[in-house]
């Protein structure tokens, strides 16, 4: 039975399974739905002192972004808003995500509306950074890997 008020969230960076901040999100109890890819192009870059993945809010520029869809409760969404610094750092927007989950031999593709966190107030120079379609901290070169600080919500340098 679905919990009242549940919604979908699309994560593309450190909150995905196997990535540095997934354990913190997993403690909140979201339900993994499937993998997906954004219907629209967006620039996904690595930036800041911490080498954060930033999905820049420039629809139609960049690449289709691979990520994961989770079903979350209003309480979990509130936690994610806090974690992502919404609305001061990242801002949450609804986007269309195409599911890439396989069932048996036939891939099942469908559209889902999901919340997604974007970096909207950014220096336009960030658009000159290389665009990614997938974030995986383990495969990034040494100088681009995520740097975890004790206070991840210290945003003076962003």
| Residues designated as active site | 84
Measured distance CA(128)–CA(67) in Å, rounded:
23
Residue corresponding to tokens 């036939």: 106
Which run of H or of E encompasses 100?
A: none
87 contact partners, CB below 8 Å, separation of at least 6: 81
């Amino acid at each position: 039975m679905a919990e009242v008020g549940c919604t979908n969230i699309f994560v593309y960076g450190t909150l995905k399974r196997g990535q540095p901040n997934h354990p913190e999100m997993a403690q909140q109890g979201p339900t993994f739905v499937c993998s997906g890819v954004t219907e629209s192009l967006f620039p996904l870059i690595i930036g800041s002192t911490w080498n954060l993945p930033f999905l820049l809010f420039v629809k139609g520029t960049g690449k289709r972004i691979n990520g994961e869809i989770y079903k979350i409760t209003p309480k979990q969404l509130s936690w994610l808003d806090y974690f992502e610094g919404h609305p001061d750092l990242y801002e949450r927007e609804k986007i269309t995500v195409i599911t890439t989950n396989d069932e048996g031999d036939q891939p099942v593709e469908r559209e889902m509306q999901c919340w997604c966190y974007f970096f909207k107030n950014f220096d336009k120079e960030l658009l000159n950074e290389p665009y990614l379609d997938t974030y995986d901290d383990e495969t990034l070169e040494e100088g681009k890997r995520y740097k975890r600080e004790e206070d991840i919500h210290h945003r003076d340098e962003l």
